[in-house]
Amino acid sequence: MLNIKNEVLVRLYLLAAAVLFVAFVIAGRLYQLSVIQAPRWEAKADSLFLKFVDVHADRGNILADDGSLLATSLPFFDVHFDAKAEGLTDEVFYQNVDSLAFMLSTYIDQQYTPGAYRDWLIQLRQADASTRGIRYVPIAKNLSYKKMLMLKEFPLFRLGRFKGGLIVEQNPKRERPFKMLAQRTIGYVREGALPVGLEGSFDNVLGGSLGKQLMLRVPGDVYIPVNDLAEIEPRSGDDIVTTLDINIQDVAENALLKACRNHDADHGCAIVMEVKTGAIRAMANIGKTPEGWWETYNYAVGERVEPGSMFKLASFMAMLEDGHLDDFDLKIPVYKGRVKFYKEELSDAVPHGLDSMTIREVFAHSSNVGTATLVQQYYGDTRKAAAFIEHLHDFGLSRPTEIEVGGEETPVIKNPTDPKSEWSGTTLPWMSIGYELLLTPLQLLTFYNAVANDGRMMKPYLVQRTEHYGEILKEFRPVTIKRSIASRQTIKKAKELLNGVVEFGTAKNIRTDLYRIAGKTGTAQLNYHKFKSRAGIRYQAGFCGFFPADNPVYSCIVIISEPKNGYHGAEAAAPVFKEIADKCFALKAALHPPVNAAEKPQLTTAQMPSIDAGHRDDLKSVLRWLDLEWYGERKGPEWAVLRAKNDSLQMLPRIVPDKTVPSVVGMGLKDAVYLLENRGCRVKASGVGKVVRQSLPPGSRANGNTTVVLYLE
């Protein structure tokens, strides 16, 4: 019996010990959770209801050279309603709901009546707390700043966030005041897409720094801002000031668009660069889309193609550097415009039937046969071909420009010593006329710009500085890539060749007497390897050059790709170049020589004002301003007339009678009308300028019914 009792006690003690152990474990765990790990679990609990979200800063502006806005962020606002706002009482809600419904129906969304709005607002207020969205109900999206301010004055909403349930969130949108102008160059930054243009390249500058906003989770798994203001305010982005000139950009885009339409082209581009600095003043890209013409791609920077005849400048400069072209008037054979290299036939673009041309004519008339024959003659074997390629490297044609916007392709120039280059017997003659190598339009223009700049190659650039609220943060200065790409003599002769193209060569259609243009046309076959006949061949028309040729200010390249109506560079691209150059010449005073640069000329009788009449004091003031010497009485009658004789100018008195019709010949209309009407005459005028004839002769009687017709020229 005793043994049984002891056994029972042991079991009870063991059970009690186990219970106590479990109790101690539970107590310890509770202490650990409630005391030691309390901050961790509290934060985790809060994260289920509160969290910080990023607040994007106001994006910086992109400005043109003159400060015009190319891209800016405009504030738009999304408005929501919190029907269960903590400070919103039933009394306040029902006092204002009718008026609020009327205002929303009248000014926000007219498709709903005030009654429908009222019922909907009451339904939101009376809904169960678990109903989705009652605390974050959309009222309006993308409101302008002005309309948002008006909405904040609506009944109930004017009480604010906590008492009126109004939630306003700013949603900035990127706008371009000039719409398509330089669209691809400006670019964009979009979620889920690669950044493009200046927006993408300078995203870290324009974007500013993020802020933080505390958000509360409400039923429906929706987060709403706890406060109207961010907990950590974002820093607005910096502005970037580009080198683009709004006027030149507009001219380039309109001229390019017109040419692409007229020639039914697939796409085109035009670039204008400042010769001395490398600053890009315009970069236009136009492409055909199903919706019409648009800037869909930056062809100027990213399209790498065979440049065709525009590359011949580099071939001739290589020969000039090696002393092979001393006499431009030397005649060379051109074989009636057709020649074979191995089994491949090369022909001139325009049949001419000539047996020979001077070197000057070969370049000016863009003879493929003449150019390729010369290059093959001087660089035909592998060792000499390597020297030719070395010249191309010296000219900077093998390096990218490293322009700020992304997407630039590296040039491709074959090398006879590199097995991977696929060099063949026909590579050199075809390369000499712009095939079997790849360049972008901007890379080719950089080379031409160096020639215009007396050999100094400048790095093209699009951004000149960054600013924050007008304060300059960083400036980007012009950068010299290479002090001289060739000898002075070569550069001088290269300019001479380029002048000949416009004076009497393939681009003579754009010659003007106002200023001189230097440049080179180019007509490239884009798929000449595939088609042996002209049927099915796609062309690229181009013109690259600079102006004014005597003292270059701007260089420019125009490319028209796949034109259907006229594919030669002279008819498709060169007129675009001239239109851009003409507008630049008209707009920019720097392109005009000062009128007082030369010595003051000695005027002849025909060049001086003669039979110009008027008030004596007025005539003296004009002559003084024009710095013209005259002789005659310094004081005399009120009216006078100028008469030129030989190289002198005499001021003579003009007698004006008081009662008869005076002579007003030589006067301006103002003086003539004054004199005639004071004598009771009615006046009619025909023409503009000064009076050359009057209907009534001087000395005629004048009265209130007398009409005098004045003829002006």
Tokens 């960083």 sit on residue = 474
Question: Which of 133-137, 188-192, 297-301 has maximum average pLDDT?
Answer: 297-301
Contact 462, 201 (CB under 8 A): no
Mean pLDDT for 197-207 is 88
Q: How far is residue 559's CA from residue 573's CA, in Å, rounded to a whole number?
A: 6
The amino acid present at 364, given as its one-letter code, is A
192-208 burial, b if ≥16 CB within 10 A, otherwise e?
Answer: eeebbbbbbbbeebbbb
Q: How far is residue 662's CA from residue 303's CA, in Å, rounded to a whole number?
A: 74
Bridging pattern class, strands 518-525 and 344-347: unpaired
Q: How far is residue 335's CA from residue 376's CA, in Å, rounded to a whole number?
A: 15
Confidence band for 540, pLDDT divided at 50, 70 and 90: very high
561-575 pLDDT, tens digit each:
999 988 899 999 999
Supply the DSSP string of 45-112, one letter for each residue. HHHTTEEEEEEPPPPPPEE-TTS-EEEEEE--EEEEE-TT-TT--HHHHHHHHHHHHHHHHHHT-TTS
Q: How far is residue 368's CA from residue 440's CA, in Å, rounded to a whole number?
A: 21
Contact 561, 349 (CB under 8 A): no
- Tell whether the model's pLDDT for residue 470 goes beyond 90: no
Element spanning 225, H or E: strand 222-225
Mean pLDDT check: name the lowest of 172-186, 317-331, 381-395, 596-610: 596-610
- Tell whether the model's pLDDT for residue 533 goes beyond 60: no
Percent of the chain as helix, strand, coil, to the nearest 5 = 35, 25, 40
229-260 pLDDT, tens digit each:
555 667 788 999 999 999 999 999 999 999 99
Contact 367, 357 (CB under 8 A): yes
Mean pLDDT for 316-330 is 93
Mean pLDDT check: name the lowest of 73-87, 587-601, 620-634, 674-688: 587-601
- Tell whether the model's pLDDT for residue 17 goes beyond 60: yes
pLDDT at 309: 94
Q: What's the per-residue H, E or C state across 541-566?
A: EEEEEEECCCCCCEEEEEEEECCCCC
116-175 pLDDT, tens digit each:
989 998 888 887 655 444 677 888 888 888 888 998 899 999 988 888 888 888 778 888
- Tell whether the model's pLDDT for residue 426 goes beyond 50: yes
Confidence band for 275, pLDDT divided at 50, 70 and 90: very high
Q: How far is residue 307's CA from residue 434's CA, in Å, rounded to a whole number?
A: 5
Contact 695, 712 (CB under 8 A): no
Specify the CATH architecture of the domain 656-713.
2-Layer Sandwich (3.30)
Domain ranges of the chain: 9-46, 53-178+209-239, 249-591, 604-652, 656-713
Judged by DSSP in three states, 650 sits in strand
pLDDT at 224: 61
Confidence band for 5, pLDDT divided at 50, 70 and 90: low
pLDDT at 530: 43
Contact 481, 449 (CB under 8 A): no
CATH number of 249-591: 3.40.710.10
Mean pLDDT check: name the lowest of 112-126, 477-491, 502-516: 112-126
Per-chain mean pLDDT for the chain: 86
- Tell whether the model's pLDDT for residue 356 goes beyond 50: yes
Share of the chain above pLDDT 70, in %: 88
Confidence band for 500, pLDDT divided at 50, 70 and 90: very high
Domains 249-591 and 656-713 share a fold: no
Mean pLDDT for 616-640 is 84
Instruction: State the burial class of residue 299 (Cβ atoms within 10 Å of its Cβ: 0-12, 13-18, 19+).
Output: buried
Q: How far is residue 524's CA from residue 538's CA, in Å, rounded to a whole number?
A: 9
Backbone φ and ψ of 287, nearest 5°: -135, 150
**Nearest of 239, 157, 115, 249 to residue 587 by alpha carbon:** 249
Q: Which residue has the higher pLDDT, 412 or 53?
A: 412
Confidence band for 658, pLDDT divided at 50, 70 and 90: confident
Residue range 53-178+209-239 in CATH 3.90.1310: yes
- Tell whether the model's pLDDT for residue 265 goes beyond 90: yes
